[in-house]
Amino acid sequence: MKKRVALSAALWLLVWCVVWGGFYVLLSLNIDYISRPVITALYFSAATLMAALLPGGLFRTHRDLLQVSTLTTPGLALGVAIAVYVTLPRFLSPPWLLIQKNPDMFFLKLDLRYLVPKLFDISFQQVLVLLLLLSLRRGGLSVKGTCSTCCVLFGAPHLFLLDRNGLAVGGYFLIFSLLAGFLFPYIILRYRRGLAYTFSLHLLFYVATGVLCWLRPTVLW
């Protein structure tokens, strides 16, 4: 059991690193959420499809993922995001210093172009989370063990942000990645449409963080 769990965790981390490594190659070519939203969306769409096909049978065992009722909550979250992105820039100025210090944090600009590829980015991450949970549970890991493993795996890829974006910004995302490691598995395993809820929370996290930075520009300096 331990060997199977370790293999699943290693494969998950490998896929995560490969996809995000490829994205940072795109960034080096000036392809990102805002400058090239369509290309970025296609990239994460391909990554999502690749992840979904890895184990085979993902959508056979979770057919309700694409039902209209399942899409209601993410749709409401997207509506909130659009309303914020349209409204807030009318009344406040962007946190330019924070944006300059963190050019890879595209959500700080509250640019509507960001939302389209971000939806596909989150879809990739959520499908990968679901695959990890299925693998760990099939490996015989308890719910508590699954949440603990996810916490470690979610936090590990975010450690590089401490060096790239500094202690404040990097630490902020590291803390919330650890929190998601405990919260997301519980929600997905507890509720039939849990993936829709975690997708919505994931999106709203970026919206809320953007709003926080616009209201308190020095909060993450």
Show pLDDT as tens, one digit a residue, over the chain (221 residues). 566 667 767 777 788 889 999 999 999 999 999 999 999 999 999 998 887 776 655 555 555 555 555 788 999 999 999 999 999 999 999 999 999 988 989 999 999 999 999 999 999 999 888 888 887 877 777 888 888 888 888 888 888 888 888 888 889 999 999 999 999 998 988 888 888 999 999 999 999 999 999 999 887 66
Cα–Cα nearest to 186, from 197, 174, 175: 197
What DSSP designation does 104 have?
Answer: T
Structure confidence at residue 162 (pLDDT) = 87
What DSSP designation does 54 have?
Answer: S
33-68 core/surface letters (b: 16 or more CB in 10 A; e: else): beebbeebbebbbebbeebbeeeeebeeebeebeee
d(CA 96, CA 101): 9
Structure confidence at residue 147 (pLDDT) = 86
How many C-beta atoms lie closer than 10 Å to residue 175's C-beta? 12
What DSSP designation does 138 have?
Answer: H
Structure confidence at residue 71 (pLDDT) = 81
Amino acid, single-letter form, for residue 41: A
How many C-beta atoms lie closer than 10 Å to residue 128's C-beta? 21
Using alpha carbons only, what angle is made at residue 111 by residues 108 and 115, rounded to the nearest 5 degrees? 95
d(CA 206, CA 208): 5
Around 13, how many Cα atoms within 13 Å sit in the side-chain half-sphere?
16
